[in-house]
């Protein structure tokens, strides 16, 4: 089951960033949260309900958030302003939507809340399940810059 | 409608902290997000789906998170360790649960995802609705220490 969640989010992330930001993010090998630090500077968080409960986080370095927003909005962004924050929220929302469609195709229906954007140098993120869960991080590089998609779903 | 959300979260927060941490948080006057900075050091985020979409954030200063966890777990915490992070996640989950019961009592059924905990000095939080929404912050003090409950619900 964990592989199905990973697959749905991996496909969703690649598809959204290809379509919205004309970039081709390269996924690395997914790993279990806790084995490696994943500190971001701008992150989008979105809650999942339905087939089970979960949360998905898309966490960018400053350079990566600026690069992707600049490509997406066709304007040069050099600071994390309101437009960059909103773009990260929108990307999180769209990755969630694409992943949910992928999960629905295999018979799992989910709803999602609204994205919350977190801004802060080197912030740490921890999802907290009530009991056993599938927790994983998919690392990506995009034009040499790093970002992470991490998720937790209750078993 | 905004007042109903504020009321449900205000009652939920007071009730959970009274019950779990034997404290009596004093609510201040709710305000509109954006009019005042609300930077936290440990925050819990949880997504809402159902009657409408939303997100709720409970954001503590370091001192307040340590104080509440120490009282809740009856042990003296001086650093933001895994237990403090988990306690903030649990408090967020319980406030969400209490608020959802309060909203259900007035005919609005919500589900919630799992809490995501954010740790980082002075991180900023922004909820992003798809269209018009009710966005507000309820400030609280607890033994003289500050924390905030902020929420956004689509109209």
pLDDT tens for B95-132 read 999 999 999 999 999 999 999 999 999 899 999 888 89
pLDDT band at A129 (very low <50, low <70, confident <90, very high): confident
ipTM above 0.90, yes or no: yes
Q: What is the DSSP letter of B79?
A: S
- Please report, rounded to a whole number, the percentage of residues in chain A having pLDDT higher than 70: 97
A24/chain B closest Cα distance in angstroms: 26
Question: Would an 8 Å CB–CB cutoff place A53 in contact with chain B?
Answer: yes
> Which of A47, A116, A120 has its CB closest to that of B112?
A47
Q: What is the pLDDT of residues A42-91, one digit of tens each?
A: 999 999 999 999 999 999 999 999 999 999 999 999 999 999 999 999 99
Q: What is chain B's alpha carbon radius of gyration, rounded to the nearest angstrom?
A: 14
Structure tokens at B72: 């809740």
Contact across the interface for B93 and A128, Cβ inside 8 Å: yes
Asked if B2 and B136 count as a contact pair (C-beta separation under 8 A), the reply is: yes
Q: What is the DSSP letter of B52?
A: S
- Please report, rounded to a whole number, the percentage of residues in chain A having pLDDT higher than 90: 88
Q: What is the per-residue pLDDT for B35?
A: 60
Q: Which of B114, B134, B137 to mutate to test the interface with A (most CBs of A within 10 A)?
A: B114
Q: What is the per-residue pLDDT for B47?
A: 97
Nearest CA in chain A to B117: A126
pLDDT band at B37 (very low <50, low <70, confident <90, very high): low
pLDDT beyond 90 at A37: no
**C-alpha torsion angle, residues A76, A78, A79, A84 (rounded to 10):** 30
């Amino acid at each position: 089951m964990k592989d199905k969640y990973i697959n749905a989010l991996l496909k969703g992330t690649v598809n959204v960033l290809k379509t919205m930001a004309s970039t081709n993010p390269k996924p690395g090998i997914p790993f279990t949260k806790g084995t490696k630090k994943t500190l971001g500077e701008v992150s989008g968080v979105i809650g999942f309900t339905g087939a089970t409960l979960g949360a998905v986080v898309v966490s960018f370095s400053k350079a990566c958030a600026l690069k992707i927003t600049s490509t997406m909005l066709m304007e040069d962004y050099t600071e994390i302003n309101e437009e960059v924050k909103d773009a990260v929220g929108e990307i999180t929302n769209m990755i969630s939507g694409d992943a949910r469609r992928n999960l629905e195709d295999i018979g799992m229906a989910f709803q999602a809340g609204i994205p919350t954007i977190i801004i802060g140098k080197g912030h740490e993120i921890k999802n907290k399940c009530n009991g056993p869960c599938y927790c994983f991080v998919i690392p990506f590089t995009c034009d040499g810059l790093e970002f992470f998609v991490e998720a937790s779903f209750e078993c």
